[in-house]
Copies of this chain bind each other. A is one copy, B any other.
Amino acid sequence: MRSRVVGSRGGVASAGGSKQGMERFVSTFTNKIDAKGRVSVPAQFRAVLDRDGYRAGDAVGIYCYPSLDAPALDCGGERLVQKVDALLSDLPDYSDERDELSVALYGDSRTLAIDGDGRIVLPEEFRSHAGLSNRATFVGLGDKFQIWQPEQFDERRKRAREKVQEHRKLFGAGRRPDQGGAE
């Protein structure tokens, strides 16, 4: 029974880690944004951050920046930070590309603190970039997760699904055509 971490209400099972899916951000959840701009981070994601978390002192935080090519926010922990670093370090110093990416990935990024109840506050700039009003959809993408305006994500999901269909035909060529699945 996953005793809540001492003192903090929203803390997730630092103890045993009994829950499933602690490795990656998986599945999607839609939560409410309240009048103060707060929104609960899904408990499953908090559990992942508990391991992967971007720590500042003793509190767990979320590394977050506006997605480069979508009206959404990219969020994650230590693993995401390292990927960003790796991406940038591959580009030559003093190149325009690098400068621009640096601005986008570092300059516009923020570290959001998770409060005792497992919630974060979304800054105004972030909300406008993602077009968020009063609900937020958290989408697990493995090493990171994204925050979307629900309706916009529905469309995105639809498109993604269609694209995947096409790709499957490429990958899958050797498979039995009537047996579904990504195996």
Contacts and interface: CB of A to CB of B under 8 A. Distances in A.
Contacts of A70: 180
This chain's copy number in the assembly? 2
Interface in A87-138: 87-88, 93-94, 96-97, 99-111, 113
Interface stretch (A4-12, A22-30, A31-39): A22-30
Contacts of A183: 74, 76, 80, 83, 141-144
B106 A141 contact: yes
Contacts of A102: 141-142
Interface string A146-183: 10000000001101110111011001000000111111
Report the interface size class on chain A.
35 or more
A41 interface: no
Interface of A: 1-2, 16-28, 54-59, 61, 67-70, 72, 74, 76, 80, 83-84, 87-88, 93-94, 96-97, 99-111, 113, 139-144, 146, 156-157, 159-161, 163-165, 167-168, 171, 178-183
Given A68-B181, A104-B164, A156-B178, 18 more contacts: A18-B56, A20-B113, A24-B106, A26-B109, A28-B107, A87-B93, A97-B163, A99-B141, A102-B141, A102-B142, A103-B141, A103-B156, A104-B157, A106-B142, A141-B179, A143-B183, A144-B183, A160-B178
